[in-house]
Amino acid sequence: MIQISNVSKSYGTFDVLKDCSTTVSKGEVIVVCGPSGSGKSTLIKCVNGLEPFQSGEIIVNGISVGDPKTNLSKLRARVGMVFQNFELFPHMSITDNLAIAQMKVLGRSRDEAVDKGLKLLDRVGLKAHAHKFPGQLSGGQQQRVAIARALAMDPICMLFDEPTSALDPEMVNEVLDVMTELAQEGMTMMCVTHEMGFARRVANRVIFMDHGRIVEDDAKEAFFANPRSERAQQFLAKILHH
């Protein structure tokens, strides 16, 4: 589904990503973790072309992301993304947030779009808030709406960029529950996150990044039981103390 081959990216003289390669198969759930500045957010933003990269190749569902001829807009319609700061559109109601891309990108009628949006809203448990505005919802609620907004496009895979990092601790679980359900239903997911509990429960593989490189890429059991690199060991030791 997603093939990342030898991707490198730099900002001027600073190398953000160094020769990263991995694959994500259909139905797989991959967790990407690592210390701040390791490039994990950048890597995931390269997958849907929000960040350009200088060398290497990324193929999503057979389409090359870096190819100048690729219609990025069409590609992004098929790849869902959830952001750390939710990024709901504050001037639109929840319903409109859910409907706008369906109408403008997929060409669905307003009725169709609203209908689908409300169904998904119900699925994440927020149907009662459909007419409200993002500013009136809590962080956890906004993030769940953001997930619904991405799902409304019927994506083939979902990218999560630290979806719970900006949430108060008490709201993290409501979002993780939605993500867990999604994984159990077979959605292909690539998640950048610090939530190791979630990774343990739901991930198939764990990727550990450090200083722009993919240092570890293991099945989850192997990663947690016996990380090969010293850096990953240090990281796990610190983070699992929560």
Spatial neighbors of 97 by CB under 8 A, at least 6 apart, are 88, 89, 134, 145, 149
Binding of residue 104 to another protein (CB under 8 A)? yes
Contact range with another protein by CB under 8 A, out of 76-84, 120-128, 183-191, 231-239: 76-84
Instruction: State which residue, 107 or 241, has the beta carbon closest to another protein.
Output: 107
How is residue 178 written in tokens? 């939605």
Q: How far is the CB of 197 from another protein (least distance, A)?
A: 26
Is the Cβ of residue 17 or residue 153 nearer to another protein in the bound state?
Answer: 153
110 belongs to the binding site for another protein (CB under 8 A) = no
Q: Which residues pair with 85 in a beta bridge?
A: none
Q: Give the other-Cβ count within 10 Å of 226's Cβ.
A: 10
**CB crowding 32-44: b at 16 or more within 10 Å, else e:** bbbbeebbbbbbb
| Selected binder of another protein within 5, 66, 123, 133 (CB under 8 A) | 133
Contact yes or no for 94/149 (Cβ under 8 A): no
Pick one of 60, 101, 126, 183: the residue that binds another protein (CB under 8 A): 101
End-to-end CA distance of the chain: 34
- The encoded tokens of residue 240 equal 């699992």
User: Which residues 1-60 are close enough to bind another protein by CB under 8 A?
Assistant: 45, 48, 50
Position 235 contacts another protein (CB under 8 A) = no
Q: Which stretch binds another protein (CB under 8 A): 34-42, 75-83, 212-220, 225-233?
A: 75-83
Q: Is 217 exposed, middle or buried (0-12, 13-18, 19+ CB in 10 A)?
A: middle
Selected from 18, 35, 89, 139, the binder of another protein by CB under 8 A is 89
Spatial distance between the Cα atoms of 231 and 16, rounded to a whole number of angstroms: 18
> If binding is defined by CB under 8 A, does position 129 make contact with another protein?
no
Which residue from 30, 126, 153, 167 is in contact with another protein, where contact means CB under 8 A?
A: 153
Rounded Cα distance, 161 and 211, in Å: 18
Residue 63 as a binder of another protein (CB under 8 A): the answer is: no
Name which of 143, 213, 208 is nearest 182 in CA terms: 143
Phi then psi dihedrals of residue 225, to 5 deg: -75, -40
Candidates 21, 109, 136, 184; binder of another protein (CB under 8 A) is 136
Taking the complex as a whole, the smallest distance from the CB of residue 36 to another protein amounts, in Å, to 18
Per CB under 8 A, residues contacting another protein are 45, 48, 50, 72-81, 83-85, 87-91, 100-101, 104-106, 132-137, 149-150, 153
